[in-house]
Structure 1
Amino acid sequence: MEILANYINGELSKPQSNNYIDDQNPATTKVFAKIPLSDEIDLKFAIDSAEKAFPQWSGLPAKERAAYLIKISALINDNLEELALAESIDTGKPIQLAKTVDIPRAISNMEFFAHAITQFSSESHANEKSINYTLRKPLGVVGCISPWNLPLYLFTWKIAPALVTGNCVIAKPSEITPYTAFLLSKICIEAGLPKGVLNILHGTGPEIGNAIVQNKRIKAISFTGGTDTGKKIAEISAPMFRKISLELGGKNPALVFADCDLNKTVEELVRASFSNQGEICLCSSRLYIEKSIYEEFKSLFVEKVKNLKIGNPTNAANNMGALISAQHLEKVKSYIRLAKEEGGHLLCGDEKLELEKENSKGYFLRPHVFENLPNHCKVNQEEIFGPLVSLNSFRNENEAIRFANESDYGLASSIWTNDLSRAHRIGSKIETGIVWINCWMNRDLRTPFGGMKNSGLGREGGLEALRFFTETKNICIQF
């Protein structure tokens, strides 16, 4: 059994308490590693090392900081197979998904921000008497807390812009899926990243996560996770007048119009609904279909869902793996029971699941599709984060927009139509931070990423991320 370590001051280190927790494979329920249970003593050591490293790191030319990220990116690429397998074992996701999405995106994150910093310009404003110009300086020591569903993908999405803008980072991966962050520690050592620039602390949210958020020496917090936790971070950070970026939950609508390319739409929405077992904040969970094509869409959609292969995530033939934990599996099942109580008609999901012996105790669940659930019921309003979607019909554009916007969340949505005017018209009225038209999860890393309402605060990605991790200073010179 492997014993994971923290990464502090450029070295792998044990937690000061010498306490560990289990890292479990959700597809087999077997414990395969032990995770450090870090505390405030480990955090102090990490912040001390980060503050010591900050003057030299922030003083490096941007091109030199970028070179370290490029080297780390290349080493992630060199170790893609190992990292993909580790991600699959740690999360229960299909290895093909890790190979084609998670790890390649981690590579792209490091490369993108390495290049972006060299294009990061400041503003100047001249008049007849003076000129003003803007400087953007790193904040200092910042905290990055990432979730369990896309571990290395979202971990690098946060630390890359923080590092390349000259900050030193205290990073906490999820205690449920820490393995690839630990492997990244080894990669950073191999890349020669200066000591103290990046520190990775493992442990639970209530313990080390809360300690990071409470610590006044940390100048900003970038967090991805649940809305309730985001609210607590906001409450703690507000009196400190500290920058926070919160990427929170979603309950994402998809609007399907009669003039769409039906076969393509069905195929893409099956992927949008059930990728990563539905454990992506961007997954579509509320599907609204124009009444005239509802029955045809339903038939095609359910047929494709029934053909998805669920099982051992390390088998490349399988489309869906295991849910992350026993607790999460029970949560999703409770919503399935609730959907039936709320009057939903189950279209698929109760079929018997055949599993290999090794996976017989794993946290597997067939994708469930319901129809006829009221729009205001709990299943249509609360984030489930699993393989459960609902289908409903609408009569016209206004009704579709109303259904989509009747939610406390506002992260992402998709519109499926070949009418370009309609796409623009509806896209501007949907209350989500991201609107995809005739596609899903098409991500250009230059674009702002984030949600409205209970889906978050601030934006990540592109220049938005570089601005978040810097402080703006205006300098005025009179002629």
Structure 2
Amino acid sequence: MKQVLHFINGKFLESTSGKFYDNYNPATGKVISKIALGSEEDVDKAVEAASEAMNGEWGNIKINDRIALLYALADEIDSRFDEFLEAETLDTGKPYTIARHIDIPRGAANFKVFADTMKSVADEAYQMDTPDGGIAMNYSRRYPKGVITVITPWNLPFLLMTWKVGPALACGNTVVVKAAESTPTTTALLGEVMNKVGIPKGVFNVVHGFGKDIGDRLTSHPKVDAVTFTGSTPTGKRIMQSSALDLKHLSLELGGKNPAIIFADCDMKKAINETVRSVFANSGQVCLGTERVYVERPIFDKFVNKLKKAGENIKLGIQHDESSDMGPLISKDHQEKVLSYYKLAKDLGANVVLGGGSPKMENGLENGYWIDPTIWTGLSEDSAIVKEEIFGPCCHIAPFDTEEEAIKLANDTEYGLAATVFSENLSKAHRVAGQIDAGIVWVNSWFLRDLRTPFGGMKKSGIGREGGHHSLEFYTELKNICIKM
């Protein structure tokens, strides 16, 4: 049985306790590896290694040398592409067809993108008059923030881990990463790449385990300078509390209940194709995914029927099957959670347009964590199905009559992460997008990402923005130097 170990100070280590926990393949429900079960002592070792690295070779490395190492990291990931692909798909159950085009290439590219950003960003300089008739020059300089705790989710584990580690290292910080307990393998595998390309010891550290065992220590440790987290809103609140005593800087990308607004003047084919993706991609386990769909009444029935037909054509299957469109959910616990919402929808009297349960799988997949693509109509806006984040391949569709009503419905949520608007009227699209309370609004598209743009949510969907120079604002300390001439 394969073992996945911590990576601390450039070495793969077992836990100080010697304990492991089981890691399951979501497609089969079978144990595929044993993961080192971390403790506070393991966290302390990792943080100490990261702190020493900040004061050692890494802390004194020239920026061009640092950027060259990040480019080498990306190239080495690409050279081991198939190995990362296999590890990621076994942990998550997602099909090769998704991970091959999104997870692994984007994960590798994050190192180059942020290396380029760090190299090209301009600092500020201002000349000012002084009271005695002279002049002074102010200029800014960026410095690494220090030791960064990186806590990543299980839905896009490699991509979202490098989305944080890439800019953190580009800015000269060191990191201690806690990957989600169910998807740790590619994060650990990255340790091998770090050693291969010559990243100094202690710069990149990984501690595996559960939030209740090591999360609080990672976020409250006195030698940790900042915490970045992607995950649920309740966990984000706990991290804020844990980090508050030391006033640690936080970047939190949290939950969502994202709306889509479909106007009658939309391109129907485009709206259906993009909404199929936003609802069902990655088995609905995407923070930017759509769970609430609002359709202008004249095209409501037509849209619902077309989305149903598209959903019926989704093929569930194991990751190695190139014809698979959708894999299982991440875990048994998550499957039970999503199924509880499916049952609740029926109990509340929803019209189940599609799905509503779990499929019968064969050929060794019977015990996997499979779920039906599901569509509902007919529920009230105050129902739990419409209000609470489910994080599965499902959506509720409701009609609207006016532009003002659509905006009100879209904003009637405690979250504000993402939204989509479909209309061929560009003036209307601009007008509506500007009034939606969300960090990202796509018009006539979904998940179209320029990595230079700000990424993050409003309301209870998070704190802060990352992406491009916005990441530099979080991962660096900005110092002003004033020189009187």
Aligned pairs (5 A) from 1:58-457 = 58-128=59-129, 129-350=135-356, 353-457=359-463
Matching residue's letter, 1:106: G
Take 1:220 and 1:173, find their aligned partners in 2: how far apart are those partners? 16
Please give the alpha-carbon distance, in whole angstroms, between the structure 1 residues aligned to 2:328 and 2:349: 27
Identity of aligned residues (%): 42
TM-superposed CA distance for 1:336, in Å, is 0.8
1:465 partner SS: helix
The answer to whether the 8 A contact 2:220-2:246 is kept is no
Q: Which amino acid aligns with 2:25?
A: N
Name the residue aligned to 1:21: 21
Amino acid at match of 1:169: V
Contact kept in structure 2, 1:313 and 1:322, CA below 8 Å: no
Q: Alpha-carbon deviation of 1:351?
A: 7.9
Q: What are the superposed Cα offsets for residues 87-130 of structure 1, whole Å, 9 maximum, x if unpaired?
A: 11111111211111100110111110111110122111112331
Q: For 1:442, what is the secondary structure of its paired residue?
A: coil
In structure 2, distance between residues paired with 1:342 and 1:67: 57
Checking the alignment, whether the CA contact within 8 Å between 1:59 and 1:166 is kept in structure 2 is: no
The whole-number CA distance in structure 2 between the counterparts of 1:352 and 1:146 is 28
TM-score (norm 2): 0.97
Query: AA paired with 1:50?
Result: A
Deviation for aligned residue 1:65: 0.9
Mean Cα deviation higher: 212-221 or 47-56: 47-56
Deviates more, 1:352-361 or 1:52-61: 352-361
Separation in 2, partners of 1:319, 1:416: 24
After TM superposition, the structure 1 stretch with the greater mean CA deviation from structure 2, 44-53 or 427-436, is 44-53
- Normalising by structure 1, what TM-score? 0.98
Instruction: Assess if the C-alpha contact under 8 Å between 2:275 and 2:290 holds in 1.
Output: yes
Q: Is the contact between residue 76 and residue 107 of structure 1 (CA under 8 Å) also seen in structure 2?
A: yes
Q: Separation in 2 of the partners of 1:58 and 1:422?
A: 51
CA deviation digits over 1:193-250, x for unaligned, max 9? 1111111111111112221012111000000011001001112222312100000001
C-alpha separation between the residues in 2 aligned to 1:136 and 1:224? 25
Q: Which runs of 5+ in 2 are unaligned?
A: 130-134
Aligned-pair RMSD on alpha carbons?
1.2
Contact 1:135 1:473 in 2 (8 A): yes
**Cα distance in 2, alignment partners of residues 51 and 431 from structure 1:** 39
Contact 1:312 1:356 in 2 (8 A): no
1:299 to partner: Cα distance: 1.0
Q: How far 1:342 moved relative to its partner? A: 2.2
How far 1:269 sits from its partner (Å)?
A: 0.5
Q: Please name the residue that 1:465 is paired with.
A: 471
| Aligned 8 A contact 2:10 2:200 in 1 | yes
CA contact (8 A) 2:342 2:357 kept: no
Query: Cα distance, 1:354 vs. partner?
Result: 4.6
What is the identity, as a one-letter code, of the residue corresponding to 1:288? Y
How far did 1:170 drift?
Answer: 0.8
Once the two structures are superposed, what CA deviation does each residue of 1:280-310 show, in whole Å capped at 9, x if it has no partner?
1000110100101111111111001011001
Q: Once the two structures are superposed, what CA deviation does each residue of 1:290-341 show, in whole Å capped at 9, x if it has no partner?
A: 1011111111110010110012222110111111111110100110111122
Distance in 2, matches of 1:426 and 1:258, equals: 14
Aligned partner of 2:43 in structure 1 is: 43
Distance 2:186 2:418 in 1: 27
Q: Does the Cα contact within 8 Å between 1:9 and 1:197 map onto a contact in 2?
A: yes
Q: Which amino acid aligns with 1:11?
A: K
Structure 1 stretches of 4+ with a deviation exceeding 4 A read none
Q: Please report how far the alpha carbon of residue 424 of structure 1 lies from its aligned counterpart in structure 2 after TM superposition.
A: 0.8
2:9–2:205 CA contact under 8 A, matched in 1: yes
Contact 2:357 2:371 in 1 (8 A): no
Deviation (angstroms), 1:414: 0.4
Letter in 1 for 2:271: T
- 1:172 CA drift (Å): 0.9
Shift of 1:453: 0.6
The amino acid that maps onto 2:300 is Y
Distance 2:79 2:355 in 1: 39
Alignment-mate amino acid for residue 61 of structure 1: K
Letter aligned with residue 449 of structure 2 = R
Shift of 1:353: 3.1
Query: Aligned with 2:435: secondary structure?
Result: coil
Deviation at 1:257, TM superposition (A): 0.6
Distance 1:350 1:451 in 2: 29
Q: Following the alignment from structure 1 to structure 2, what is the Cα–Cα distance between the partners of residues 200 and 404?
A: 39
For residue 132 of structure 2, what is the aligned residue in structure 1? none
Provide the C-alpha distance between the structure 2 equivalents of 1:444 and 1:258, rounded to a whole number of angstroms.
Answer: 28
Output the CA distance in 2 between the equivalents of 1:374 and 1:80: 46
Q: Tell me how far apart the structure 1 counterparts of residues 109 and 378 of structure 2 sit (CA, whole Å).
A: 41
Specify whether residues 327 and 424 from structure 1 end up closer, same or farther in structure 2 by C-alpha distance, changes over 3 A only: same
Counterpart Cα distance in 2 of 1:467 and 1:60 = 21
Conservation of the 8 A alpha-carbon contact between 2:6 and 2:14 = yes
Gap runs ≥5 in structure 1: none
Other structure's SS at 1:281 match: coil
The one-character-per-residue Cα deviations of 1:336-379 (angstroms, maximum 9, x if unpaired) are: 11112223110010588352321011110110100011112111
